[in-house]
Amino acid sequence: MLREHTCGELTIDNVGAETTICGWVQKSRDLGGMTFIDVRDRYGITQIVFNMEVDEGLCKEARGLGREFVIKVSGKVVERSNKNPNMATGDIEILAEKLEVLSLSKTPPFLIEDETDGGEELRMQYRYLDLRRGPVKKNIELRHRVLKVTRDLLDAVGFLEIETPYLIKSTPEGARDFVVPSRMNQGQFYALPQSPQTFKQLFMVGGFDKYFQIVRCFRDEDLRADRQPEFTQIDCEMSFVEQDDVLSTFESFMKLLFKDILNIDLVDFQRITYDEAINTYGSDKPDIRFEMKITDVTKVAQGKGFNVFDESELVVAINASGCAGYSRKQLDALTDFVRTPQIGATGMVYVKYNDDGTVKSSVDKFYSEEDLREWANVCGAEAGDLLLLLSGPKQSTLAAMGELRLKIGGELGFRESGTFAPLWVLDFPLLEKDIETDQWHAMHHPFTSPKKEDIEFMESDPGRVRANAYDMVINGIELGGGSIRIHERGLQDQMFKLLGFTKEEAEEQFGFLLNAFEYGAPPHGGIAFGFDRLVALLGGSESIREYIAFPKNNAGRDVMLDAPSAISKEQKKELGL
Ligand code: ASP
């Protein structure tokens, strides 16, 4: 090695030793007779001191060092007179005796400090410089640890990590495929896997009863802060299990992971049904760090001459406890919020139950104080509380209320990082209808099994069929989801038919799986976790980009590589494009 120590390991115990370290110049300070250089590597920062009196030439050389030069310094470890308790190496410095510049550096385009002046786009363009910054490095280290602990935990309970191919045929997870043209089979394309779903099911047929893989998945869909076109899953599947077995296996896994990584004991996961989640929290991934449940007030709010409510399918309320003091401005801001196109409500009604016992609402014209007190009763509101009401079509109103609930919860400080409220959401509908095409789609994916007792409705009333499907949710983040699968050819055929596949189409796309089911498929089920999201949650952030070494931007571009990009005429020709 060119170095004897890293920049993070010298302490008072090393005083007197001769050593050599290597690293990047973080900063230099020139104090007349002395020049101080901070040298940084992955492990920390060490201060080097160059003394005019000891070696004038060397000191002058040190003054010529620019930020981010790569240097090798040898010298003696000495105790600092001016100690820095905030640094691991803050008790010592190295009295330089030899200096070698290993690499020059241009002035970096942004400050390589914990707090930088670089915007995200610039940092991504120079991600290799961004990676030198402390917080980014910490995120990447965390990711590594979560990868390692995940593998250890799953290995310990008998899961085998088995890889699956990337150049495949489409797997339906509800997004568009990224496709790769085949040179050897002109005019034909591979699809990159949206997930290894069908492969892991084939592993079950193949007798590997506990499979996992930390695997890249590719989905061509519109991007948001917590989405990337390629992302990583912890993909798992088990044979001879029922839903409860999968839930308990992965609840234990998650508890052990949180214990290992954060030293936090997660509480037992709540279990609620999809319907309950939607009706009480307006979301299938509720943040249950706080209550503020949604109450259906349709009955008490209708019939008093307020048209907006009278003509609505649903009127719902949340009780913002202790918020009666909200100002006009705060209430206007909330109204503006619910009216934004993303939330889509037409307006918001409020009722303040003031501390002095008076009641004030935006609908005083239509409702007597008695009426409004009745609302309070239904919603459990007391003096000092603020009731917020939305109305409209059932689904969209609940969704809008769910968003408003999160917004208020955030404002009231209920959504701070550091606490974790895990739950399972169960009994998802098997199917959802695309209103535009009037076609049923699998809510999870086409391999998810319906509940036994609902199979009889698959033909007559598909919308009411519930699936053996579940999501793991922590703090309003869908960390993972899975299902017990169909393992009988007949039922799988029926499912494809419901989804609008002809026999031929099903055979053409999924013949391999349907055939496999004819050779002794064990009952099986599994789950996949969004690994990037999991690491971000453990790291206390919502942006998965911060935990991916080379992420893509919101337009799906890698701004460092400048990809995607055009390919040459020759390449196109070769591919028959
Ligand atoms: N393949 C599914 C997904 O990617 C997860 C599963 O059902 O196991 O969401």
Q: Is the separation of the CB atoms in 78 and 37 below 8 Å?
A: no
From the CB of 197, is ligand 1 less than 6 Å away?
A: yes
Alpha-carbon distance of 538 to 474, in angstroms, equals: 11
Alpha-carbon distance of 337 to 521, in angstroms, equals: 51
Alpha-carbon distance of 68 to 41, in angstroms, equals: 11
Amino acid at 519: Y
Query: Rounded to the nearest whole angstrom, what is the distance from the C-alpha of residue 185 to the centroid of ligand 1?
Result: 30
- For residue 564, whether the previous peptide bond is cis, meaning omega lies within 30 degrees of 0, is yes
Query: Rounded to the nearest whole angstrom, what is the distance from the C-alpha of residue 95 to the centroid of ligand 1?
Result: 57
> Count of CB atoms within 10 A of residue 139's CB?
22
Nearest CA residue ID for atom 1, ligand 1:
197
| This model's pTM is above 0.85 | yes
Task: Please work out, in degrees rounded to the nearest 5, the angle formed at the alpha carbon of residue 545 by the alpha carbons of 339 and 103.
Answer: 145
From the CB of 442, is ligand 1 less than 6 Å away?
A: no
Instruction: Identify the pLDDT of residue 225.
Output: 67
From the CB of 526, is ligand 1 less than 6 Å away?
A: yes
From the CB of 232, is ligand 1 less than 6 Å away?
A: no
Instruction: Identify the pLDDT of residue 222.
Output: 83
Angle between helix 243-262 and 531-539 (nearest 10): 40
Element (H, E) at 515: helix 503-516
From the CB of 195, is ligand 1 less than 6 Å away?
A: yes
Query: Rounded to the nearest whole angstrom, what is the distance from the C-alpha of residue 168 to the centroid of ligand 1?
Result: 17
From the CB of 193, is ligand 1 less than 6 Å away?
A: no
Q: What is the DSSP letter of 466?
A: B
Alpha-carbon distance of 23 to 11, in angstroms, equals: 17
Query: Rounded to the nearest whole angstrom, what is the distance from the C-alpha of residue 481 to the centroid of ligand 1?
Result: 6
Q: What is the DSSP letter of 229?
A: S
Nearest in space to 5 (alpha carbons), one of 86, 90, 76: 76
Tokens standing for residue 288: 């249950």
Alpha-carbon distance of 37 to 565, in angstroms, equals: 42
Burial 266-276 (b: 16+ CB within 10 A, else e): beebeebebee
Query: Rounded to the nearest whole angstrom, what is the distance from the C-alpha of residue 483 to the centroid of ligand 1?
Result: 8
Query: Rounded to the nearest whole angstrom, what is the distance from the C-alpha of residue 282 to the centroid of ligand 1?
Result: 23
Instruction: Identify the pLDDT of residue 58.
Output: 96
**pLDDT under 50: residue ranges of the chain:** none
Instruction: Identify the pLDDT of residue 415.
Output: 94
Instruction: Identify the pLDDT of residue 84.
Output: 95
User: How large a percentage of the chain has pLDDT more than 90?
Assistant: 96
Query: Rounded to the nearest whole angstrom, what is the distance from the C-alpha of residue 461 to the centroid of ligand 1?
Result: 25
Instruction: Work out which ligand 1 atom sits closest to the CA atom of 171.
Output: 1
Q: Is the separation of the CB atoms in 544 and 224 below 8 Å?
A: no
First vs last C-alpha separation in the chain: 50
Instruction: Work out which ligand 1 atom sits closest to the CA atom of 237.
Output: 8
Instruction: Identify the pLDDT of residue 298.
Output: 98
Instruction: Identify the pLDDT of residue 226.
Output: 74
Mean pLDDT value across the chain: 96
Contacts 24+ apart (CB under 8 A), 53-62: 54/95, 55/96, 55/97, 58/96, 58/97, 58/98, 58/99, 59/34, 59/35, 61/99, 62/28, 62/35, 62/37, 62/96, 62/99
